[in-house]
Amino acid sequence: MRNITWSQAMNEAIAEEMRHDETVFIMGEDVAEAGTPFKVTSGLVEEFGTQRVLDTPISEPGFMGMAVGASLTGMRPIVDLMFGDFIYLIMDQLANQAAKQHYMSGGKLTVPLVVRTNMGATRRSAAQHSQSLQALVAHIPGIKVAMPSTPYEVKGLMKTAIRDNNPVVIFEDKLSYQMKGPVPEEEYFIPFGQANVISQGTDITLIGTSSMVQVCEEAALILAEKGISAEVIDVRTIAPLDEHTLVESVKKTGRAIVVDEGHQSFGVTSEIVARLNEQAFYYLDAPLTRMGAMDVPIPFSPALEDLTVPTAAGVADKAVKLVTGER
């Protein structure tokens, strides 16, 4: 299978869906000629024109609201939100307007739109350009939240997101745009709500989202060297959340560490731990453990920033303690 970058995979997903359905369009800041600052949408405007690849002013609440209106009337907008940190700016339109329309209208109105945005620290981008805000969005009923971890996933999940008839937010780790990985030539979709068991194990389950999946995989390698068998699961979508796969794994291993790059408190890891506790309680050999980003604004200084994010070594360390029963 050919290897392509994350950016190319995302680009293909958008282009294929725009070819497939004339109601699909993308809008955002510098998505056209500039192809976004991360060069993800390069080439789209040449193929689809400036009407369907729409450069907007710097008006996130405004164009998010317009996407809601366009989708209510039959379009399938993709909103390109340059940094995940700007989610705060579109929260009203996303949560009060998009998420609730279908329910408030008793099922009569639908809002098929996608917000593609990013997350992830360690780029020295400081507190307002480094946040991972997936938990905020997942808390709101009526929105789906995808968190791909590879080029393969970003393409498959994005295509599913665009065809979904509900509002979807897809978070990409900013560090992944240049990541390469195998992506089929043939069309494919990755369904929402199905976690991916990357590797089987018996001693502990490592559950990761987005780039934290790689952290879990690396931790599993470290653990393997120590004779500890870790099962690694990629959550893929946190809303809907594939509780079943996670619970079954933890019932088998009796232990789990949940890793996500959002702030730990009131975050994604809290929810997954709470559900595992409820569903797998009688199978647990050790407390469910979680590792999110530290509960601090992301610092700029290279001497500090990396300390705030979970690492493979840190995960492996905790895992060893859980498995050996050391506290």
Partner 1 sequence: MTNLTTKDIPRLLQAYRQMVTIREFEDNANELYLTAKMPGLTHMYSGQEAVAVGICEALKSTDYITSTHRGHGHCVAKGANLKLMFCELLGKEEGYCRGKGGSMHIADQSNGNLGANAIVGGSAGIATGAALRSKMLGKDDVTVCFFGDGALGQGLLYEVMNMAALWSLPVIYACENNMYGEYTHVDEMAAGSLTARAEAFGIETHRVDGQDFVAVNALSEKLVARAREGEGPFFIVLDTYRYHGHHVGDVNRTYYRSKEEEQHWKTERDPILLLAEVLVSNEWATQQELDEFKAAIKKEAADAVSYALDAPYPDESEVDMHVFVD
Ligand X SMILES: Cc1ncc(C[n+]2csc(CCOP(=O)(O)OP(=O)(O)O)c2C)c(N)n1
Binds a copy of itself by CB under 8 A, chosen from 22, 88, 188, 321: 88
The whole-angstrom separation of Cα 70 and Cα 94 is 14
Site for a copy of itself in 248-287 (CB under 8 A): 262-263, 265-271, 273-274, 277-279, 281-282, 284, 286-287
Question: Could you write out the DSSP letters of every residue in 231-281?
Answer: EEEE--EEETT-HHHHHHHHHHHS-EEEEEEEESTTSHHHHHHHHHHHHHG
Site for ligand X in 20-79 (CB under 6 A): 29, 58, 60
Annotated catalytic residue 153: no
Residue of 129, 153, 217, 231 marked catalytic: 129
58 binds a copy of itself (CB under 8 A): no
Annotated catalytic residue 60: yes
Residue 227's binding partner out of a copy of itself, ligand X, partner 1, none, with CB under 5 to 8 Å set by partner kind: none
Neighbour-count burial for 87-108, b at 16+ CB within 10 Å, e otherwise: beebbebbbebbbbbbeeeeee
Strand pairing category for 180-182 and 3-5:
antiparallel
Element (H, E) at 168: strand 168-173
Tokens of 95: 């949560």
The whole-angstrom separation of Cα 111 and Cα 254 is 41
- Our CB check for partner 1 shows the closer of 18 and 323 to be 18
Residue 184's binding partner out of ligand X, partner 1, a copy of itself, none, with CB under 5 to 8 Å set by partner kind: none
Identify the bridge partners of residue 46 per DSSP, sorted by sequence position. none
- Our CB check for a copy of itself shows the closer of 12 and 85 to be 85
**Collapsed DSSP state (helix, strand, coil) of residue 53:** strand
Which positions are catalytic? Answer: 60, 129
Binding site for ligand X (CB under 6 A): 29, 58, 60, 82, 86, 89
Binding site for a copy of itself (CB under 8 A): 85-89, 91-92, 94-96, 99-100, 103-104, 126-128, 135-136, 138-142, 238-239, 241, 262-263, 265-271, 273-274, 277-279, 281-282, 284, 286-290, 294-297, 299
